[in-house]
Amino acid sequence: MTNQNVVMSNGGGARTDSWVDSMRASSPTRIHPFPSISPDQSSWMVRHPSALDIFDEIINASKGKQIVMFLDYDGTLSPIVDDPDCAFMSDAMRATVRKLARYFPTAIVSGRCRDKVYNFVRLAELYYAGSHGMDIKGPSKGSKYKKGTKGVFFQAASEFLPMIDEVCKVLLEKTQSTPGATVENNKFCVSVHFRRVDEKKWIELIQQVKAVMKEYPQLRLTHGRKVLEIRPTIKWDKGKALQFLLESLGYANCADVFPIYIGDDRTDEDAFKVLRERGQGFGILVSKVPKETNASYSLQEPSEVMVFLRRLVQWKKMTLRRQFRMKRQLEEFAI
């Protein structure tokens, strides 16, 4: 849980209008892609430079270490679209992520349920952490990056499944009167999307959701980019999922690992924070507007994420080719 996340459990505490303000801040609806860069924007860019501009520095920092990639899905690999069921990633992005996984262990970490995010990405060679990391599974055929043959599978909140199902049904019914609200059952959590809800109706929607939440003190409510999230109160988040996956890959107490986490949402902040605390690797926030973040660097949108991932692949390919050539020269020299 980050301190940026407004938490409301048991229906009490935070006022509805401050919730709406906070929802607005994390869900910009009218983005002007830097028509002129404001002083705020430029000082933010100094603190969180573009990962493309300082690509060489990133590479130098990772020298001799194993890069492990963590990627959020919505707003990172796919654009935020009105209908969450249509948040498809492009074929070019899929091809890029496929190449990336050839060179680095790669995990998708999403708020969506694992099956759904897998159906969007459709790459069997990746690790998937769905429901904000509460449902983790490694590649079914095993991974070339993982020592041992034991597969990776972990569900942090299985006992909450019946409650989540129930709250999902109640929310569907209660939010019916708010046009555009969509309730998504993400197995271990529920998302109430407000991408298509008129801003004037946000207060009504948050009141409906809060009324339901009063009955479920074991669940907590947070919000992200155009989405309200209902999750079990257990201490598990995308940051914990990142740590779990690093351990599964054999990098628990390893100094030679360099995790890179790319995400656009408040829930990704938990992972950015873990990387800061570990002092290993770094987070990249995908955002066109300045936001309070624990990420070190920034990228503006999924198309820039794709360029960054391609450059990583290119760099790795060149490094391997150079190493191969040197090895051959040394062998020839020895003969």
Instruction: Please give the positions annotated as active site.
Output: 72
Q: Are 208 and 200 in contact (CB under 8 A)?
A: no
Closer to Mg ion at the Cβ: 288 or 316? 288
Minimal distance in Å, beta carbon 266 to Mg ion?
9
Minimal distance in Å, beta carbon 73 to Mg ion?
6
Q: Are 308 and 55 in contact (CB under 8 A)?
A: yes
Q: Which range touches Mg ion (CB under 5 A), out of 66-74, 164-172, 269-277, 297-305?
A: 66-74
Residues 253-312 that bind Mg ion (CB under 5 A): 264-265
Q: Which range touches Mg ion (CB under 5 A), out of 73-81, 139-147, 158-166, 314-322?
A: 73-81
Closer to Mg ion at the Cβ: 75 or 139? 75
Minimal distance in Å, beta carbon 62 to Mg ion?
24
Q: Binder to Mg ion among 23, 68, 74, 281 (CB under 5 A)?
A: 74
The Cα–Cα gap between 225 and 31 comes to 13
Q: Which of 131, 238, 138, 146 has its CA nearest to residue 185?
A: 131
Say whether residue 184 binds Mg ion (CB under 5 A): no
Say whether residue 75 binds Mg ion (CB under 5 A): yes
Q: Binder to Mg ion among 9, 69, 72, 243 (CB under 5 A)?
A: 72
Q: Which two structure tokens, joined as six digits, stand for 36? A: 């002129």
Closer to Mg ion at the Cβ: 74 or 135? 74
Minimal distance in Å, beta carbon 268 to Mg ion?
7
Minimal distance in Å, beta carbon 209 to Mg ion?
20
Closer to Mg ion at the Cβ: 227 or 249? 227
Q: Which of 51, 74, 47, 77 has its CA nearest to residue 62?
A: 51
Binding-site size for Mg ion (CB under 5 A) equals 5
Closer to Mg ion at the Cβ: 75 or 281? 75
Closer to Mg ion at the Cβ: 83 or 165? 83
Strand order in the sheet with 106-109: 153-155, 135-137, 127-130, 106-109, 66-71, 257-263, 282-286, 297-299
Binding residues for Mg ion, rule: CB under 5 A, are 72, 74-75, 264-265
